[in-house]
């Protein structure tokens, strides 16, 4: 491990439930300074550029609550979709082309207009997360929205590459898993990349 000493770490956290983990990890990521956030954003942008072209349509997110932010240059140079609450609750999230935003009823900014695409119609989804482990398990904010959006991928003709973006301090030895939790293909932090194996043969890479 090559975590910077200046950054807090979550890896010392004992085996705890999702709710407790969320509270501790959210406090950790919020404790990062503006300079640490900017550096993290720069490094994640560089790693995403090095990944090369995965496809045309990429879902990203507007960072809040200390989440790692995508650099503006990345947003400007790609076709970016943002998550929105899907009108059909079964799907959790839809993804609309980036544009003028409005606040959802959860008080999260989302594109106001446009057709909501489903997860399988995208080439890559960059997911925010509260915590992760090296096996690609993701802890979200507790709404299960991404789990619902990804739940039907196995029944679709294709599926997107799923990459969670996180600060290094959001790593945990084990993220507790429920049957509905959908694992990610990879996790990228400023200093590490973890790929889950085996990657399915329907995978775009």
Tokens of 178: 């429920």
Which listed residue (111, 140, 160, 164) binds ligand ADP by CB under 6 A?
140
Which of ligand ADP, Mg ion, none lies near 151, with the C-beta cut-off 5 to 8 A by kind? ligand ADP
Task: Indicate the Cα dihedral angle 80, 84, 89, 90, nearest 10°.
Answer: 20
Give strand pairing partners of 195.
186
Question: What is d(CA 122, CA 106) in angstroms, rounded to the nearest whole number?
Answer: 24
Is 18 a binding residue for ligand ADP by CB under 6 A? The answer is yes
Least distance to Mg ion, CB of residue 132, Å: 11
Note whether 9 and 169 are within 8 A (CB).
yes
Least distance to Mg ion, CB of residue 197, Å: 21
Q: Which residue is nearest to ligand ADP (CB)?
A: 144
Least distance to Mg ion, CB of residue 181, Å: 4
Strands 109-111 and 101-103: antiparallel
CB-nearer residue toward Mg ion: 29 or 78: 29
Provide the binding-site residues for ligand ADP, judged by CB under 6 A: 18, 139-144, 147-148, 151, 178, 180-181
């Amino acid at each position: 491990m090559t975590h910077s000493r200046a950054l807090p770490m979550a890896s010392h956290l004992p085996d705890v439930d999702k709710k407790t983990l969320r509270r501790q990890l959210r406090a950790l990521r919020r404790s990062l300074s503006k300079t640490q956030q900017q550096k993290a954003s720069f490094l994640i942008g560089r790693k995403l550029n090095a990944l090369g072209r995965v496809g045309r349509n990429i879902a990203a997110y507007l960072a809040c609550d200390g989440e790692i932010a995508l650099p503006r240059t990345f947003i400007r140079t790609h076709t970016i979709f943002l998550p929105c609450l899907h009108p059909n609750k079964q799907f959790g999230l839809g993804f609309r082309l980036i544009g003028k935003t409005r606040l959802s009823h959860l008080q999260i900014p989302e594109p106001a207009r446009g057709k909501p695409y489903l997860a399988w119609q995208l080439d890559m989804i960059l997911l925010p997360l509260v915590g992760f482990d090296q096996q690609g398990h993701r802890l979200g904010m507790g709404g299960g929205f991404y789990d619902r959006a990804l739940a039907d991928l196995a029944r679709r003709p294709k599926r997107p590459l799923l990459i969670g973006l996180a600060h290094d301090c959001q790593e945990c030895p084990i993220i507790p898993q429920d049957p509905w939790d959908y694992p990610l293909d990879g996790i990228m932090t400023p200093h590490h990349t973890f790929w889950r194996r085996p990657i399915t043969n329907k995978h775009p890479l």
